[in-house]
Amino acid sequence: MMDFFYSFDYDDHIAMDDHTICPMVFNAKAYAAADFYDVQHLKTLATRKFKTATENDWNNAPSLFAKAIAVVYETTPESDRTLRDIVFDITTKNLGKLLDCSEFQDVLADHGDFGLEIIKVSPLQSNGYKCSGCQFKFI
C-alpha cells in the first residue's frame, strides 16, 4: 500500500506466506483505509480496482465475493454507497447462483441491511423462492 504514495498505484495481487490475498477483499480494505485517512485519490483507485476485481472474480470465487461484501458492509457507513452499489448490482444480477453459496447465505444472515436491500428489488418478491436444499417453494 505504501507504493501508492510514491506511484499513485498499488498491486492488489499480494502473496503472503503460503496464500494470496483476494483482490476483492484487499481493495475493499484499501477503500476503507483511504476513507479513514481521507485520501480521495486512493479511494477512487480502490473503487476502480474493486469494481474490476468483483466483476471479474465473483463467479470464480463466490465465497470470496461474499467475504468482500461483508468487508464492505462492515467498513462503510450506510450513507456511502460507492462499494455497496457495486456489490448490490452484481448480487441482483446473479442472485440465483449466489444463493447456492453457503458463505453468501451467511452474509445475508449476518448483514441484515444488505439482505433487506436485495429483497426490496429482488424478482423473488413476486415469483417466490424455491429452496435449493429441500425444494420447498415460498410464495
**pLDDT one-digit tens code per residue, 10-63:** 766 665 555 567 899 999 999 999 999 999 999 999 999 999 999 999 999 999
In this predicted structure, the answer to whether residue 9 has a pLDDT above a threshold of 70 is no
pLDDT tens-place string over residues 76-108: 999 999 999 999 999 999 999 999 999 999 999
What local confidence, expressed as pLDDT, does residue 119 receive?
Answer: 85
Rounded CA separation 31/43 (Å):
5
State the pLDDT confidence band at 120, using cuts at 50, 70 and 90: confident
